[in-house]
Structure 1
Amino acid sequence: MNTSPRQKILIVDDEPDIRELLEITLGRMKLDTFSARNLAEAQALLAQDTFDLCLTDMRLPDGTGLALVQHIQQRYAQVPVAMITAYGSLETAINALKAGAFDFLTKPVDLTRLRELVISALSLPAPGGTSSGIDRRLLGDSLPMRNLRKQIDKLARSQAPVYISGESGSGKELVARLIHDQGPRASRPFVPVNCGAIPSELMESEFFGHRKGSFSGAIEDKPGLFQAAHGGTLFLDEVADLPLAMQVKLLRAIQEKAVRSIGGQQETVVDVRILCATHKDLDAEVAAERFRQDLYYRLNVIELRVPSLRERRDDIELLANNMLKRLAASTGQPPAKLHPQALEALKNYRFPGNVRELENMLERAHTLCENKQIEASDLRLAEGNCNPDGGVPDLTQIDNLEAYLENVERKLILQALEETRWNRTAAAQRLNLSFRSMRYRLKKLGLD
């Protein structure tokens, strides 16, 4: 006999028919329901009892569901809230997600979708209970990393789309995996896809699948990435590389929560959480009309920025030692040690490639060093990326000021080009130059 207490759901809606529909549906799921007709009644019930989930309408006689979301976030953060909005009120739903709502439903309420949402919300871990899992994979004790872990813990308790921004090599995919692994979809697939690595002519098939015989070479039915991620998370890395035609189709799939495979006659309903990332500036891509503004707003409900390695230099020693231990374990040898001068050199390096560059650098140094000690010379640091704090050079070392400044300019432009994969427009934006000015400088420096 099951003696465990039944979970409690708070329903907030001024329409008796909606309240009754929700009460009956949730009652059949063996859940206890408590109903409120307005904001004041909801706040009173929250003060009297403990709830496992709140379902609230957006429009209430004495306020808004958004105000209730904010009230619960401030006082009862352990209670997930789902917003019920009128059909087509996408902006309202996005505002609710930004305020901290777990997810949203549209009227008329789809009962299958309702049950899925409730099951997902009730399987959420307790707030703050996931930090140890994050700590083991996301190393670092600097303030930026502590803040990042807190944000991951919070976002894991939501179904809002998240745009993960940050430089190449900073760990954006790891952050996406942690958001997935700490949330209610952890037991379902996490499907990462590099949007820049798929040929444009294959994109629709890759994302939505195809039916046998739908085109030359389609020898069997193939599900797409959306179908593969059903129930889980689809991580779109380098989403800014999607061509405009594919952006339109992606937007529709996200809005309709359904896809149609090439050659298929019917749409397939898909339930996926979308996380995306890019090293490019999406705002600038929208301004340049290379990325659709409507898709941008749909993906960028919440932005999570991953700090560069330059912003967390205090973590370099911890990261380096951990990487050296892993390298030693993989080769069955004792770990190499960093000479103090080598460690100091690492802390003074710019790391345009971030954590990924540090890992590659240490793997090479670990292989080539003598007597299991890594000297500064073993790191082979690029001279132009050292001394990141930009100290004033010794004037006795400068024979020709114009030549010196030209050399500095060349190094900075080359670095920007390398970090943006030689995209001149993106490099110009990173240096806060107009494209015309960038083109002039490239020609002047012989880099055109």
Structure 2
Amino acid sequence: MTAPRILVVDDEADLRELLEITLVRMGLDVDTAENLAAARDCLARHEYALALTDMRLPDGSGIELVREVTSGQRSTPIAVITAFGSTDNAVAALKAGAFDYLSKPVGLDQLRLLVQSALRVSGKVEAGETGARPPASRLVGESPLMHELRAQIARLARSMAPVAITGESGSGKELAARDIHAHSARADKPFVAVNCGAIPEALVEAEFFGYRKGAFTGAADDRDGFFQAANGGTLMLDEVADLPLAMQVKLLRAIQERRVRKVGATTEDPVDVRLVSATHQNLAECVEKGRFRQDLFYRLNVIELRLPPLRERLEDVGLLADTILARLSSPGPRATLSPAALQALRGYAFPGNVRELENILERALAFANDGVIEPADLALRAAPPPPAVAGVAPAAVPPEAAPVAATTPAAPASAPASASASTAAAASAAAGPSSDLPSSLPEHLDMVEREIILRALARTNFNRTQAAELLGISFRQLRYRMQRLAIHEPE
């Protein structure tokens, strides 16, 4: 069986020779070309498992070759060699469809890793063709949007370019990241998911890069960080917008240099990870507001993958519900939705997306009779009112609570929000006949909580840190409540 064939395109004879010797020692056949014209001639005559081109050639740019290879019917992965520090060129090449890149001076270890990844992507290994079938997608749905999403993921999996996944909370960003990893040449290597917003700021560097024994109080042993744990595989940075600015600088260097230094160490260690980032926030807006570095944004946002909210693909609700109920019912008999319950779900907006659907069904399963879920078991929330803007009166109290509101004196503007809540609770307790009670206690409590949070945000001009202090809760608790109640910062 013939060995995989590699094409090397570079106008420097010494570098071409070095790359050729290295690749031949890996058991590969190698063709070389000194310019675009010679490279095109080689591509017309042979099929290659990988093309490796310099960015600057005597008769054009390596990006031209990237576009020609990726825009045709070829499945050849093509990587580029960039000058030291030319990260803009690397990003441009990745956006044009390059499989990966190497920086000069070319590290032979990194070259070998890149070639091995390319051989797996192109279906070539040292033993020949591989017959492995692609794994099933974790993203459930048969709507046109989901078919297109899965097709995008299959295409993205062939590249090593960083991917930025955007989408609302609960839309399945981590599942999409796992699918990208599972369909990639790194599928047999680790997948490490990190929630950037859940790590205390003082520990972020140690968690990402690891530390040496004795580097700080409590560092009793050497420990690897997330980059080392994901070496050879994929590192997912969930809620990447929550990273502190100081850590963003260090993360950018790690991405560009592909090396990390443990806390307390004097040397750097090479790492080979593919980065997938995710956030429900608008990173471009975070850049404009100074909360996220622009250079890091460009490095992470090479390819963007948008996950549609559930309300844009309500035709998938039935299939999603069946899949979730099968898992929740196991190992007993599978619970089912009545036609009326399914119709109610298909008419619901799902502000919490698939995660909310799962929570709704888990609760409904506890109340269902004989394993059949009826509309009354779902306890769907009423659609929330639009978010308030500073200077605009908060949302009105729901109709069923109107008698209570009419008998409750207004709290003074300077009174704390908790006092307002206490007053409302006392008024509700003394409301009198049952006809004055809210028809749904959870909806009523959500409305009261929403009103109080909106008042605190309006008083602080939507400064969430100050609003959390006013309400006596942590910033993370406030952020969670805002997400649950669909409270968004005004445009």
Q: TM-score, normalised by structure 1?
A: 0.84
Check whether the contact 2:87–2:256 (CA below 8 A) recurs between aligned residues. Answer: no
Please give the per-residue CA displacement for 1:141-170, whole angstroms capped at 9, x wherever unaligned: 111111111111111111111111111111
* Cα distance, 1:318 vs structure 2: 0.8
Check whether the contact 2:50–2:78 (CA below 8 A) recurs between aligned residues. Answer: yes
Please give the per-residue CA displacement for 1:305-334, whole angstroms capped at 9, x wherever unaligned: 1111111111111111111112222xx221
The amino acid across from 1:54 in the alignment is A
Check whether the contact 1:349–1:385 (CA below 8 A) recurs between aligned residues. Answer: no
Change in 2 beyond 3 A, CA 1:131/1:303: farther
Structure 2 unaligned spans of 5+: 125-130, 386-398, 406-443, 458-476
Please give the per-residue CA displacement for 1:260-307, whole angstroms capped at 9, x wherever unaligned: 222222222211111111111111111111111111111111111111
In the alignment, structure 1 residue 156 sits paired with structure 2 residue 215: no
SS in 1 for 2:277: strand
Partner of 1:264 in structure 2?
A: 265
In the alignment, structure 1 residue 333 sits paired with structure 2 residue 392: no
* Cα distance, 1:130 vs structure 2: 8.7
CA distance in 1, matches of 2:383, 2:47: 59
Please give the per-residue CA displacement for 1:109-131, whole angstroms capped at 9, x wherever unaligned: 2111111111111111559x998
User: RMSD over aligned Cα, in angstroms?
Assistant: 2.8
In the alignment, structure 1 residue 116 sits paired with structure 2 residue 113: yes
Check whether the contact 1:350–1:385 (CA below 8 A) recurs between aligned residues. Answer: no
In the alignment, structure 1 residue 350 sits paired with structure 2 residue 409: no
Partner of 2:359 in structure 1?
A: 360
Partner of 1:147 in structure 2?
A: 148
Structure 2 counterpart of 1:54, from 43, 51, 55 = 51
* Cα distance, 1:420 vs structure 2: 5.5
SS in 1 for 2:304: strand
SS in 2 for 1:295: helix
Change in 2 beyond 3 A, CA 1:134/1:283: farther
Q: Following superposition of structure 1 onto structure 2, how do residues 115-134 of structure 1 map, counting pairs within 5 Å? A: 115-124=112-121, 133-134=135-136
Report sequence identity in percent.
56
Change in 2 beyond 3 A, CA 1:70/1:419: farther
Partner of 1:92 in structure 2?
A: 89
CA distance in 1, matches of 2:11, 2:264: 45
The amino acid across from 2:95 in the alignment is K
Partner of 1:436 in structure 2?
A: none
In the alignment, structure 1 residue 282 sits paired with structure 2 residue 279: no
The amino acid across from 2:374 in the alignment is E
Check whether the contact 1:130–1:153 (CA below 8 A) recurs between aligned residues. Answer: no
Partner of 1:380 in structure 2?
A: 379
Structure 1 unaligned spans of 5+: 387-396, 434-448
Change in 2 beyond 3 A, CA 1:370/1:423: closer
The amino acid across from 1:95 in the alignment is A
* Cα distance, 1:13 vs structure 2: 1.8
Check whether the contact 1:339–1:375 (CA below 8 A) recurs between aligned residues. Answer: yes
Change in 2 beyond 3 A, CA 1:76/1:106: farther
In the alignment, structure 1 residue 322 sits paired with structure 2 residue 323: yes
In the alignment, structure 1 residue 20 sits paired with structure 2 residue 17: yes
The amino acid across from 2:264 in the alignment is G
Change in 2 beyond 3 A, CA 1:385/1:422: closer
Q: TM-score, normalised by structure 2?
A: 0.77
CA distance in 2, matches of 1:27, 1:305: 41
Partner of 2:2 in structure 1?
A: 5
Partner of 1:181 in structure 2?
A: 182
State the number of aligned residues: 405
CA distance in 2, matches of 1:156, 1:203: 28
Partner of 1:445 in structure 2?
A: none
SS in 2 for 1:45: helix
Change in 2 beyond 3 A, CA 1:264/1:423: farther
Please give the per-residue CA displacement for 1:404-427, whole angstroms capped at 9, x wherever unaligned: xxx9xx89x779999953569xx8
SS in 2 for 1:383: coil
SS in 1 for 2:275: strand
Change in 2 beyond 3 A, CA 1:162/1:15: same
SS in 1 for 2:213: coil
Q: Following superposition of structure 1 onto structure 2, how do residues 304-323 of structure 1 map, counting pairs within 5 Å? A: 304-323=305-324
Partner of 1:67 in structure 2?
A: 64
* Cα distance, 1:56 vs structure 2: 0.8
CA distance in 2, matches of 1:142, 1:35: 46
SS in 1 for 2:313: helix
Check whether the contact 1:352–1:419 (CA below 8 A) recurs between aligned residues. Answer: no
CA distance in 2, matches of 1:264, 1:420: 36
SS in 2 for 1:133: coil
SS in 2 for 1:274: strand
The amino acid across from 2:161 in the alignment is A
Check whether the contact 1:163–1:303 (CA below 8 A) recurs between aligned residues. Answer: yes
Change in 2 beyond 3 A, CA 1:131/1:239: farther
In the alignment, structure 1 residue 106 sits paired with structure 2 residue 108: no
